[in-house]
Amino acid sequence: MKCSIVPTIVFALACVATAQPPKSDIRYMEDGHARHVLDVYAPPGAKNAPVVFWIHGGGWQAGDKTDVKLKPQWFMDKGFVFVSTNYRLLPEVDMGTLIRDVAAAFGWMEKHIAEYGGDPKRVLVGGHSAGAQLAAIICTDERYLKEQGVPLDVLIGSVPVDGDTYDVPAIIEVAETRARAHSLPLPSFGHRKKFGDDPVKHKDFSAVTHVAKGKGIPPFLILHVSAHPDTTAQAVHFGNVLREAGVPVTVFGAKDTNHSKLNNDLGLPDDPATKALTDFVAKVLKK
């Protein structure tokens, strides 16, 4: 939060109170990789506060936990502790290992977040782009959190932002058909290769594969850019699959924005996607 210089001590103190620096580069795996670190943002005096576990984007090949813009302060203003994690990247590791890094960070958070004022039994998981796929998969495929001794019932909600891989085989088919139709070369390291170059793996890494009734899958708010055909199709399809399984879901298509702006603007007062997020957060906290 940036504070203007004004001749009032009260305003200055308020700025200091809300601009808590994060606890940065906390290791979630002893003797691990340099990217096995996370940041924790906690409001002053937090105790038994709900938690946000955020996963950055970057095509599974780039990105960093510090790319959170307004979100930590916005969530802290609503009483949350905010956790943002790094994970190893492609092609250094494969997709399964990458997802298990995220799950390991979640497992560390479950064991330690009370030390920072958070409630490990009330966690909202979110992520942007590649992070949207990662958020969706750990909230639907219970195996990853189960390996960390964590059940799905600690999750109060999930907010994937503009992901295009909730159904990996579908996006591969769309992208490769488009390329062939226009006589364009296929990318050397596109979704087919990123997700293991194996149809079985493509299906297994798709959140839609693992949605089923009675699993304890949390409510979802799926945000997407309404003008983007791929993320829109994926969001609508994923939403329909969740709805058919009885999982509460809202699919919100944001207008007049783009892939990066949608994520970066979350937390702005007049942002429509932020209004949808506000409504969603209010609902999940009532449960």
CA angle 81, 83, 86 (to 5 degrees): 175
Of 67, 43, 44, the C-alpha closest to 57 is: 67
Let me know if 129 is a catalytic residue: yes
Distance from C-alpha of 287 to C-alpha of 283, rounded to nearest angstrom: 7
Token look-up 């004004």 returns 6
Domains of the chain: 24-285 (3.40.50.1820)
Tokens standing for residue 227: 């003008």
Encode pLDDT of 190-239 as tens digits: 999 999 999 999 999 999 999 999 999 999 999 999 999 999 999 999 99
pLDDT category at 28 given cuts 50, 70, 90 is very high
Q: Which one is predicted more confidently, 175 or 12? A: 175
Is the per-residue pLDDT at 127 higher than 90?
Answer: yes
% of the chain beyond a pLDDT of 70:
93
Residue 256 and residue 270: Cα distance in Å, rounded?
Answer: 13
Which pLDDT does position 21 carry in this prediction? 81
Q: What is the mean pLDDT of the chain?
A: 93
Q: Are 124 and 53 in contact (CB under 8 A)?
A: yes
0.95 surpassed by pTM: no
| Active-site residue, from 4, 24, 84, 129 | 129
pLDDT tens-digit profile of 37-80? Answer: 999 999 999 999 999 999 999 999 999 999 999 999 999 999 99
Mean pLDDT along residues 113-126: 98
Average pLDDT (82-111) is 98
- Report H helices in the chain: 9-18, 71-77, 95-112, 130-140, 143-146, 168-181, 191-194, 199-204, 207-210, 229-244, 259-264, 272-285
pLDDT at 20: 66
